Each structure stands twice: as structure tokens, then as C-alpha cells.
């Protein structure tokens, strides 16, 4: 598995489509409708799409070496080096991500700053532990280096683009932000070797 821009696009588009769903107004006039979902619901749908996408993030077990503490002389474990390991903690920052997006909605923010700040906080809060199957575990912090600035999405909408085109650009910008993020931490191999996992981009 690895980060898939198409998966993010599909999830975001579905989230926004749900946001447009309506229902009949209880006790209202015939044909009167209201939004089926609250702003909080839609913020949750968007957060779910981002987290579902992020759950496929991987890094490589590099740079090592991963030293097995054998007495009298530690030895390097060559088996797990460069092994891909997948994130195990993608759900950790979901609630704050949703809250940031919902706050943006409440503020009437047209350029989706809530999504930008939410993603920038979500990445280091959630992409913490990566594990192979079977094999190594990397624990550390993933630092975002490029914020997902979504103002171009509004500009595209003002230019007359349809929702699929806008969501396509949104997914591209968010995907680029994740792909520019860097993990640094400690790796442990199945044989007990330990060493640095540094400077690893998300796959």
C-alpha cells in the first residue's frame, strides 16, 4: 500500500456529495426540504476521507544500520533494512482534524483554511508508528513541510469549474502536502536490531 491520490479524490467527492443531500422538513409545507447533514457531519465526512487516505501511508526502514545487541560484538541486521512499513496510528488525530474543518465552516472561510490547519496538525499528531508484516517497527514523528493551500480551489470555482474539477485540485494539493512530509525516528527489527530511521518521505 501507499498514498493514493485517486482514493483521496473519491473520498472527498463522496463527502461533498453527502453534504448536498436533503430531506423533507418535518411539519413543513409539501416539497419543503432542508439539509440532511449538519456542518459537523460534513466536516466528519471530509476528515474520514483524509484519514482513510492517510491510513495507507508507508515509509522505508532506512537509514539504519539496525544493530542487534549481541555480546561481545553487536551485529547489523541486514534483513529489515529498506523494508516498507505502514502507518498504524492514522486515527489518532481524526477528532482534531474534524474540529478544525468544522471551525472553518463556522467561520464562513471560503479558502478552506480549516482544512489547511487541520491537515498540518494531523500529520505530526497521527503518522507516528509504522509497522511491517512481518518485521520492523518505526516510531517517531512525521513533519509536514508544504502546507496544503486551498485558495486555488476557490479561484477555480469562481472561474466556473464544476465540483469534480474543484475536488480534483483539492485532492492534488492535499496529496502533495502529504508526499512532502518527512519521518524521523527509531526503527526496531524483528531480530531486535535498533537504529535510526531518518529523512524518510511518505510513500
Cis before 21 (ω within 30):
no
Q: What is the pLDDT of residue 158?
A: 86
Q: What is the pLDDT of residue 26?
A: 67
Which residue, among 132, 148, 187, has the nearest Cα to 199 in the 3D structure? 187
Q: If DSSP codes are grouped into helix, strand and coil, which group holds residue 136?
A: coil
Rounded to a whole number, what is the largest CA-CA distance in the chain?
Answer: 84
Positive or negative torsion for Cα 156, 157, 159, 160: positive
Exposed / middle / buried, residue 189 (Cβ in 10 Å: 0-12, 13-18, 19+): buried
Q: What is the pLDDT of residue 124?
A: 98
> In degrees rounded to 5, what are phi and psi of residue 157?
-65, -40
Q: What is the pLDDT of residue 154?
A: 87
Q: If DSSP codes are grouped into helix, strand and coil, which group holds residue 20?
A: coil
CA distance 203 to 140: 16
Residue 58 contacts residue 130 (beta carbons within 8 Å)? yes
Q: What is the pLDDT of residue 134?
A: 77
Q: Roughly how many angstroms between the first and final C-alpha of the chain, as a whole number?
A: 9
Q: What is the dihedral of CA 102, 104, 107, 109, to 10 degrees?
A: -140
DSSP state for residue 70 in the 8-state scheme: -
Q: pLDDT tens track of the chain, all 203 residues?
A: 899 999 999 999 999 898 777 666 666 666 666 667 788 899 999 999 999 999 999 999 999 899 998 888 888 888 878 899 999 999 999 999 999 999 998 888 888 899 999 999 999 999 999 999 878 999 999 999 999 999 999 889 889 888 999 999 999 999 999 999 999 999 999 889 999 999 999 99
Q: What is the pLDDT of residue 21?
A: 73
> In degrees rounded to 5, what are phi and psi of residue 5?
-60, -35
Residue ranges of the domains in the chain?
5-201
Q: What is the pLDDT of residue 74?
A: 87
> Is the pTM higher than 0.85?
yes
Amino acid at each position: 500500500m501507499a498514498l493514493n491520490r485517486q482514493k483521496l479524490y473519491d473520498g472527498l467527492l463522496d463527502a461533498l456529495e453527502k453534504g448536498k443531500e436533503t430531506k423533507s422538513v418535518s411539519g413543513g409545507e409539501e416539497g419543503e426540504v432542508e439539509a440532511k447533514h449538519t456542518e459537523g457531519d460534513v466536516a466528519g465526512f471530509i476528515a474520514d476521507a483524509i484519514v482513510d487516505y492517510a491510513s495507507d501511508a508507508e515509509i522505508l526502514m532506512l537509514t539504519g544500520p539496525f544493530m542487534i545487541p549481541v555480546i561481545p560484538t553487536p551485529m547489523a541486521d541486514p534483513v529489515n533494512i529498506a523494508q516498507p512499513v505502514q502507518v498504524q496510528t492514522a486515527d489518532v488525530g481524526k477528532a482534531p482534524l474534524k474540529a478544525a474543518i468544522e471551525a472553518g465552516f463556522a467561520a464562513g472561510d471560503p479558502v478552506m483554511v480549516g482544512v489547511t490547519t487541520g491537515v498540518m496538525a494531523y500529520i505530526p499528531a497521527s503518522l507516528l508508528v509504522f509497522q511491517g508484516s512481518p518485521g520492523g517497527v518505526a516510531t517517531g514523528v512525521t513533519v509536514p513541510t508544504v502546507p496544503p493551500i486551498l485558495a486555488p480551489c476557490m479561484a477555480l470555482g469562481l472561474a466556473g469549474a464544476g465540483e469534480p474539477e474543484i475536488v480534483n485540485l483539492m485532492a492534488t494539493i492535499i496529496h502533495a502536502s502529504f508526499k512532502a512530509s518527512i519521518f524521523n525516528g527509531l526503527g526496531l527489527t524483528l531480530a531486535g536490531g535498533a537504529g535510526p530511521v531518518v529523512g524518510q518521505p511518505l510513500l
